[in-house]
Structure 1
Amino acid sequence: MIKRFCIKRWQIVLLSLVAVLGITYLLLKLLPNSSLNAFMQRQNSTRFYDRNGQLLHILALDDGLRREWYDLENIPENVQKAFIEAEDKNFYFHPGVDVTAIFRAASQNKEAGRIVSGASTITMQLVRIIYPRKKTSVTLGVKIKEVFLALYLEIKLSKKQILELYLNSVPFGKQIEGVGSASRSFFGIKPEDLTQEQIEVLAKIPRRPADYAPEKNYDYPSRCPHFIQYVISEYAKTQTVIPNDLTLSINAQWNELTERLIQLKLTEFQDARIHNGAAFVVDNASGEVLIWCGNASFDDKEHNGEIDGVLVANQPGSSMKPFLYARALERGFDPSSVFPDIPLDFGGAQVYVPLNFNNRYNGPVRMRVALASSLNIPAVYVLYRIGVDDYMECLDSLGFDSLKGTRESTGLSIALGSSEVTLFEMVRAFSVFARDGKVLEHIAVVPSQKQEGKRVYAKDTARILCNMLSDKNARVLGFGNAKVFETTYPCLFKTGTSNQYQNIIAMGSTSSLTVGVWMGNFEGETVVGQTGSSIPASVVRTILDELTKTYSAQEFAQPESYIQQNVCTLSGMKATEDCPSVTREYVALGRSVHFEPCSWHETRNGKTIIKYPSEYQHWASQKNFSGETQIDGSELSFLYPRNNAHFIFDPTIKPSAQMLPVEVTGGHHTSASLYYDGKNMGTVSDVFSWHIALERGTHTLTAECGTERTSITFTVK
C-alpha cells in the first residue's frame, strides 16, 4: 500500500511540473512584449522600384543607418549556413542557450588564461540587439537576464523567425545592419549575387566590425529623387511605416528622358536666366504618376537643384484660363458667346488688363477664340460676370489647396493666373477635361485601386473645353500657326507666363495623358530676352510624342447636349445670308431653339453694313477712322482712362509692351498736349490720343487744349 501511494504521488508531482511548465510556456508564448513588437515593426531601409521593377532608391534611415530587409527564403542558403557556422553551430539544437558551448568556452578560456572563446548563441546576440545593454560593464545579473530573454525568444518565435531577424539586424559597423545592406555596402551587390569567398568575409565581420572596411565606397542607387522625397513625406504625414519594398507608379526611363529634355532647354537658354525646370505627367484613367521631374538635376547646387519644382507654388498665368471658361459654360455662356476685348470699366473703376500678345485690342471675340488665343481682357470680363467667389469655389473643387485662405486678397487679376499654385495642382486640374469633368487624386504607388473621381464640371463642359483647346484655327489670333501645337494625334494645349517670364508654363493633354512643364528660376530673377511659353511647350510636345507610342491618343468625345450650328464669326449669333464670315459652332440644345439671328450685319444696296453694339463703336471708329475731324466744342475731358482708375500691371507682358491708351475729347482747338507726371508726352492734332508706358504707382495725367486744362489721377498695381 505504501509503495502504491509513493508512485501515485510521484506521478502527481511530475504531472504538476509538466502542467506548470506548459502553462508557463503558453503564457510566455501569448504574453505581449512591447519591445519585441516594436523591434519587429521598425522601419527598415525601403527599396523603391519603378513600375517596371527597376530599383530607384534605397532609403537611409533618419540616423543615416542602412538596414535592408530580406525574407529568409530570399537570403541564399549558403549565406545562412556561413553565419550559423561562424556564430552558433548548434543553432537548430538548443533552446536559446547552448550548454555545451558554455562548458567548451569555459574550458578553453581557463586553459588560455584569458577569454578566447564565447558561448553566445545567435538567439542571445539577437537579445542584445533587441534589448541593448544599458551599462558597459556586464554583471552576472545582466547575463542571467539575457539567458532568460533568449529562452523567452525561443518560446515566442520560431527558429526561422529568429534567424531571419538576426540576419537582417546583425551590425557590421559603419552604419550598416543586416546582410542585405552589408553585401551592398561592402561589395556593391545583392545577397544572392555574393560569391562564397565574399560570404565568408561577411560572416566574420560582426565579430570585429572595426577591423573591416569596404573595398571601395559603393554608391547606392538614387533615381527620381524628388518623387522619392514626395512619397516619403506622404508616409510621414500619416506616421506610417514604409514597406520594405515599394513599387511606385513612375517610369524611370521616361523620367530620365524628361530630365535630359529639360536640361537641354536650360543649357540652350541659360543666358536668359532660365536655370530650373520641372515636369509632371499623369495617367488620366488611373491618376497614376508616370513622370515626376522636380528639376533637371537634383545635384545642381548652384541653381537649387534639390528644390522640387512640381511642389513649388508659382503664378501660372494664362494656363489657368480653361478653368474659368469651363465655369462660364456652366453659368449660361456658349462657345459662341462674344466677349469684349476693349478697355472696360468694372464697378465704376477701371481695371486695366494690358494689351494681349498681339499688342492690340481685338474688339468682339467669341469664347472659343478668346480662350484658344489666350486673350486677357475677355478673361477678366468673364470673371467679372460670374464672380470671384464662384470661381474660387470652382478652383477649390479642382484641388487648388494653395489658394485656401486667400480669398480676401484675391481680385479680378486671378483671371490672369496671378495667384500662386503648384504644378502638382495644375496637372490634377487640367486632366479634368480629358476625364469628362472628373478630378482624380494623384497615385504614387502601384498597383492602385480604380478611382471613381469627383465631378467638378458636367461631362459636356469638359468635352467643349477639349474641343476649344485643340482648335488650331482658334489659336491663330494669339499665336499664329505655332508648329509646336501641331501634333499628329488629338491633343489640347494651354500655356502661361508670369512675373516677367520668371515662370513659363505649358500644359498638354491627350485622351490618356496629362503633362505639365514649368521653367524659370528659383532665385526670383526675371527671365530675359524670351517671349516665353514656347520653350516649355516644346518639352510638353516631345514628352507626348514619346509617350503616345505606349499610351494611345484617341479622339476626344463629342458633347451630347450641344448641336453644331452656323454662327457669325463676328457676332457669335445665328448666321444669316448677310454674314460675310460663317463658322460651325456648338450651341446648347436648350438655347438652339431660341438662337437669335445675327443683327450685326445688314445688306444695303448690295453692300454689307456692320452695326456694332454701342460698347464696340469707339473701338470700331478708331480701327476704321476716316474723313475730316471736326472741333467738338465741348468741355475738355478724359474719355479714357477715367479719374481714379485702377490698373493691373500684367506680368506676362514685357514693360515695353504695356502701353496705356489715353483718349481726350472736347476742347476748342484742333491740337492738344499731354503731360504724364509733369513730363510732356507730345502734342497731337485732330484725334487726341496717346500711348504711355505703364509704371506701378499713382500717377497724374494733364491735358492742355489752348487755354483749357484738365487732370486725372490713376493707379497701377
Structure 2
Amino acid sequence: MPPRPRRSPPAARPNPFATIAKVMGGLFLAGVLTLGIAVMVALASLPGFDELMRSPNGQSVELRGADGTRLVTLGPSYGQWLNFNAIPKPMVDAMVSVEDRRFFAHPGIDPWGMARAGVAVVRAGGAKVQGASTITQQLARNIFLTSNKDYGRKIREIVLALAIERKFTKQAILELYLNRVYFGGGAYGVDAASRKFFGHSARTLSLEEASVIAGLVKAPSRYAPSADPARAKQRARIVIATMADTGAILPGEASAANLDGLRFAAQAPQSGVRYFTDWALGEVEGLTDETVEPLLVTTTLDPKGQQAAEAAMRAETPKGAQGALVALARDGAVRAMVGGRDYVASNYNRAVVARRQPGSSWKLFVYLAALEDGLTPDDRVVDEPVTFEGWSPRNNSRGNAGEVSVTQAFALSINTVAAALGNRVGFDTVADVARRFGITTPIDRRPAMVLGTSEATVLEMTAAYAAIANNGAEVRPYAVTRIATASGRVLYEREAATPRVLVAPYVAANMTKLLQAAVETGTGRAAQIGRPLAGKTGTTSSNKDGWFLGFTPELTTGVWMGRDDAKAVPGLQGGRAPARAFAAYMARAVGGTPPSPLTTEVDTGGGFGLEPDDQVYGIDPGTEELTAGDGGEVPPATVEPDPPRLDEQFLDEQVGAPELR
C-alpha cells in the first residue's frame, strides 16, 4: 500500500496577549519617538538663559503718595535677580524638599510621582488629590504656558520640561524658578517675596523665613502672611518637617527652628486707598504707553489726610448707609478720596461713579446764574408761595419768612426763593451754568431742577465748588504728578495748567459770601472748624441723600452719604452727618496751617474783576430731560446773631424751624 500522506500539523492559534503586547510595544515606541522629536523641536526653539532672565510675566505699577509713601503696588513685583550662589541654601533646600524632592535625580518629569498621583486619582474616584508637577514643569508652565488645566497643556508642559532639562543645568533651572515663581501678594521671585513679607533682601533669609516662602507656592493667597500669619507659620512647620524627612536638615535643626518668634513686615493698608489708586490707574493709562518696564507713579494723595478722611467717614456715616468723600487742592490735585465703607466688600467707587441727586447743594448753580444776571447778596427777595408750570415748591418749615436778603435766603436754603430765582434767569440758564462748571450727567430742565433733582457725581460737584474757591477759574481733578520707570527714566511730569475762567471773579466772590453765610449762620453750621469756611448742605426728598460741600482757601471737600439702593436713611440730612464728617476731615487736613481769609470782595475797577484777556466760557446746554422729583432742606432751629445779615427773632417767628440734633 502506498504510504499514507502525512497531515500537516494544525496551525498554531494566535496568542491575543502577544498581539496586544506587540501593538502596545509599537505604540510605546512610536510615542517615545514622537516625544523625542517634540523635545528636540522644543529644544531648538527654547530661548537662552539671558533672554529668560529679561522676560517678566507682566508689568508692575507702584503708586506713591505726594510725600513719597508707597500706597500700593499693583501687578507683578520683581525683586533683585539673584544668581544661584547668592540664594541662601535653606531657601533652595526648602523649595526642593516641599515641591520636588527628586529634583536632582529626574530628567524633568518624575515618573514615580506621576504614578503615585495616578493611583491617588483612581482611589479618589477621578478627583485630583495631589499634584505631580516637578519644579521644571512648573517653570515651563510659568514662563511659556497658560494656567488652563487640560491634557493638551499637560503634554506640552512635559515636552518643555524635558527640553529645558537638556538645555540648562539643574542649578540654572533652580535659579530661573526661584527668581520667577509667584509667591502671592504680587511678588514674583524670592527676593520680591522676602522684601514684601520680611522687609529685607532674600540674600539673608533664615531657615524659618525660607520655610514660610517655600510654603507659599502651593497656595499663595491661602498661606500668605499678610492674609493669615498663623496659617503661614503652620504651613512653614510642615515645610521644615519635610526638609528633615528628606535629609535637607538635621532633626535637631528642625526642632530648633523658632517660628513663634518670627516677625513679618508690616503691610501698607490698602483697603481705603484702593478707591483712589484704581481711579489713578485710569489716568496712568492715558499718560504713558509703556507696557513692559515697571512703573513708579507719584500721585497727589496726602496719606495722612486720607487716613483722616477714612476715619471721619467711618465715624459719621449712618449704619446701613454708604459714604463718599473727595478733597481737592486749589489746582485740582486730589488729596483724599473715599469711595465707600469697605473696598474689600465693594470696590464700587461712589466718589467718581455713583450718580445721586445733590439736593439743595445744586442751588450753587441757581445762585451763580442769578449773580451773573445782576443779583447781589444784599438784594431783597420774598419767601412766599410760588407755582411754576404746575409745580409748587414748599419749604421744610412748611412756612414762609416773607422778605429776606439774598444772603439769608441762601443761608437758610429757602426753596421758594431758589425756584423764583431759577424762573427769573431761566431754568435753561441754570442748566447752562451747571454744564459750564463740569456737570456731565443729564440735567432736568423743568422748574423742580433748582432743588437738585438731576443727578451728579461727588467728584463733579466738588470740582464745581472748587472753582468758586479758585476765584471762578476751572478746577480739573487730577491724580498723577510724575511717572517714571524703575530704571529712572521719566515718562511724564505734570506741568501747571492755565485754567479757563468759568465766571468773573466778582461773581465767585459774591457766591463765596453766600456760602460763608450758610456755614456761619445757616444750615451748614455743623461744618465749622474755627477758621474761614464756605459751604452748602444738600438733602433730597425722604432723606435718601445727604451732602455737604465746602472749602477753605486751600482745600475743597465734598461729602455724600446714602444707600446704594436709594432707600431713605432715617435722620440723614446734609447739615448733620455729612457736615460733621466734613468738619472732622478738614480740621485735620488744614489744621496745621495758618488760617487764610476767604475772597468775598473783588475790586472790579469797572471790569468786573476780569483781566483784559480773560474770557468766560459757556457750554451748549443740550436737551436732556428727566422726571422732576422733590428736594428740600431742613433749616436750623436757631440762628446765631448776625444783625447786618440775619434777624434771629424775625426768622424764628416767621419760619418756625424745628430743632436740629
Superposed CA deviations along residues 313-338 of structure 1, whole A, max 9, x for unmatched, are 11111111122212222233333343
Residues 64 and 70 of structure 2 are in contact (CA less than 8 Å); yes or no, is this contact kept in structure 1?
Answer: yes
Alpha-carbon spacing, 1:164–1:433, altered in 2? closer, same or farther (3 Å): farther
Cα deviation for residue 528 of structure 1 reads 2.4
Residues 509 and 602 of structure 2 are in contact (CA less than 8 Å); yes or no, is this contact kept in structure 1?
Answer: no
Q: How does 1:205-244 map to 2 (within 5 A)?
A: 216-217=230-231, 221-224=269-272, 225-234=274-283, 241=291, 243-244=294-295
Superposed CA deviations along residues 499-524 of structure 1, whole A, max 9, x for unmatched, are 31111111120000011111222233
Aligned to 1:628: none
User: In terms of mean alpha carbon deviation, does 460-469 or 336-345 score higher?
Assistant: 336-345
Superposed CA deviations along residues 185-235 of structure 1, whole A, max 9, x for unmatched, are 7x554536953436765897899999x976745696423232233334555
Cα deviation for residue 51 of structure 1 reads 3.0
Gap regions ≥5 residues in structure 1: 1-27, 62-66, 88-103, 110-121, 152-158, 564-585, 591-646, 655-717
Query: Which whole-Å CA distance do the structure 2 matches of 1:438 and 1:178 have between them?
Result: 50
Residues 501 and 651 of structure 1 are in contact (CA less than 8 Å); yes or no, is this contact kept in structure 2?
Answer: no
Aligned to 1:543: 585
Q: How does 1:156-171 map to 2 (within 5 A)?
A: 169-171=180-182
Q: 2:406 matched to 1:367?
A: yes
For these two proteins, the number of residue pairs brought into alignment is 487
Residues 259 and 297 of structure 1 are in contact (CA less than 8 Å); yes or no, is this contact kept in structure 2?
Answer: no
- TM value normalised by structure 1: 0.55
Higher strand share: 1
User: Whose Rg is larger?
Assistant: 1
Residues 381 and 404 of structure 2 are in contact (CA less than 8 Å); yes or no, is this contact kept in structure 1?
Answer: yes
Cα deviation for residue 428 of structure 1 reads 0.9
Alpha-carbon spacing, 1:36–1:457, altered in 2? closer, same or farther (3 Å): farther
Alpha-carbon spacing, 1:648–1:50, altered in 2? closer, same or farther (3 Å): closer
Query: Which whole-Å CA distance do the structure 1 matches of 2:594 and 2:157 have between them?
Result: 71
Q: 2:336 matched to 1:291?
A: yes
Cα deviation for residue 483 of structure 1 reads 4.8
RMSD value, Cα: 5.2
User: In terms of mean alpha carbon deviation, does 187-196 or 316-325 score higher?
Assistant: 187-196
Cα deviation for residue 386 of structure 1 reads 2.2
Aligned to 1:491: 533
Q: 2:429 matched to 1:390?
A: yes
Residues 458 and 560 of structure 2 are in contact (CA less than 8 Å); yes or no, is this contact kept in structure 1?
Answer: yes
Cα deviation for residue 360 of structure 1 reads 2.2
Q: 2:432 matched to 1:419?
A: no
Query: Which whole-Å CA distance do the structure 1 matches of 2:583 and 2:184 have between them?
Result: 50
Alpha-carbon spacing, 1:127–1:522, altered in 2? closer, same or farther (3 Å): closer
Query: Which whole-Å CA distance do the structure 2 matches of 1:313 and 1:522 have between them?
Result: 10
Residues 469 and 508 of structure 2 are in contact (CA less than 8 Å); yes or no, is this contact kept in structure 1?
Answer: yes
Q: Structure 2: which amino acid aligns with 1:222?
A: Q
Q: How does 1:680-691 map to 2 (within 5 A)?
A: none
Cα deviation for residue 560 of structure 1 reads 3.4
Alpha-carbon spacing, 1:345–1:128, altered in 2? closer, same or farther (3 Å): closer
Q: 2:93 matched to 1:42?
A: no
Aligned to 1:527: 569
Q: How does 1:434-583 map to 2 (within 5 A)?
A: 434-447=469-482, 449=494, 450-471=496-517, 476=521, 479=523, 483-529=525-571, 532-562=574-604
Q: Structure 1: which amino acid aligns with 2:314?
A: Q
Superposed CA deviations along residues 437-469 of structure 1, whole A, max 9, x for unmatched, are 122222223446223223211222112211222
Cα deviation for residue 497 of structure 1 reads 0.2
User: In terms of mean alpha carbon deviation, does 425-434 or 136-145 score higher?
Assistant: 136-145
Query: Which whole-Å CA distance do the structure 2 matches of 1:248 and 1:51 have between them?
Result: 5
Q: 2:317 matched to 1:254?
A: no
Query: Which whole-Å CA distance do the structure 2 matches of 1:559 and 1:308 have between them?
Result: 37
Cα deviation for residue 309 of structure 1 reads 2.9
Aligned to 1:704: none
Superposed CA deviations along residues 658-715 of structure 1, whole A, max 9, x for unmatched, are xxxxxxxxxxxxxxxxxxxxxxxxxxxxxxxxxxxxxxxxxxxxxxxxxxxxxxxxxx
Q: Structure 2: which amino acid aligns with 1:435?
A: N
Query: Which whole-Å CA distance do the structure 2 matches of 1:495 and 1:47 have between them?
Result: 37
User: In terms of mean alpha carbon deviation, does 457-466 or 382-391 score higher?
Assistant: 382-391
Of 37, 44, 66, the match for 1:51: 66
Query: Which whole-Å CA distance do the structure 2 matches of 1:250 and 1:180 have between them?
Result: 29
Q: Structure 1: which amino acid aligns with 2:563?
A: N
Superposed CA deviations along residues 341-391 of structure 1, whole A, max 9, x for unmatched, are 222344xx4431112x44422333333222222111221222222223332
Higher relative contact order (CA 8 A, sep 6+): 2
SS in 2 for 1:314: coil
Q: How does 1:259-338 map to 2 (within 5 A)?
A: 259-266=310-317, 270=319, 275-285=321-331, 287-298=332-343, 306-310=347-351, 311-338=353-380
Q: Structure 2: which amino acid aligns with 1:279?
A: L
Aligned to 1:191: 201
Gap regions ≥5 residues in structure 2: 1-45, 96-103, 110-134, 147-151, 233-265, 483-492, 611-626, 635-661
Cα deviation for residue 429 of structure 1 reads 0.8
